[in-house]
Amino acid sequence: RKEVEQDPGPFNVPEGATVAFNCTYSNSASQSFFWYRQDCRKEPKLLMSVYSSGNEDGRFTAQLNRASQYISLLIRDSKLSDSATYLCVVRNSGYALNFGKGTSLLVTP
């Protein structure tokens, strides 16, 4: 079983829609959680960190449920420019990051 699992999608949504991505992780000792965005043929870039209390950054809201080992990302009012692959990333103890396969999002006009 992979350490970080995501629904690969693709998610096809119209502009303005709200879309949610889910991610589960297997290591209960995981300490840090992130969502990264990867555009086609580009390197991953940090979208937001995920905090235990949940956090919001504009149209993006991230939630963490440690008991269920579950992370979510909610995107409101989707824009065409949100089309990308969203990577769920978890850090256990130490420095190594564990990446999910990513969830593909396509926002259509």
Partner 1 sequence: SAVISQKPSRDICQRGTSLTIQCQVDSQVTMMFWYRQQPGQSLTLIATANQGSEATYESGFVIDKFPISRPNLTFSTLTVSNMSPEDSSIYLCSVEVRLTEAFFGQGTRLTVV
Binding stretches for partner 1 (CB under 8 A): 2, 4, 32, 36, 41-46, 49, 87, 89, 91, 95-97, 99-102
CB nearer partner 1, residue 48 or residue 78: 48
CB-wise, 34 or 82, nearer to partner 1?
A: 34
Write out the chain in H/E/C secondary structure. Answer: CCCEEECCCCEEEECCCCEEEEEEECCCCCCEEEEEEECCCCCCEEEEEECCCCEEECCEEEEEECCCCEEEEEECCCCHHHCEEEEEEEECCCCCEEECCCEEEEEEC
To the nearest whole angstrom, how small is the minimum distance from the Cβ of residue 64 to partner 1?
A: 16
Q: Which is nearer to partner 1, 76 or 101 (CB)?
A: 101
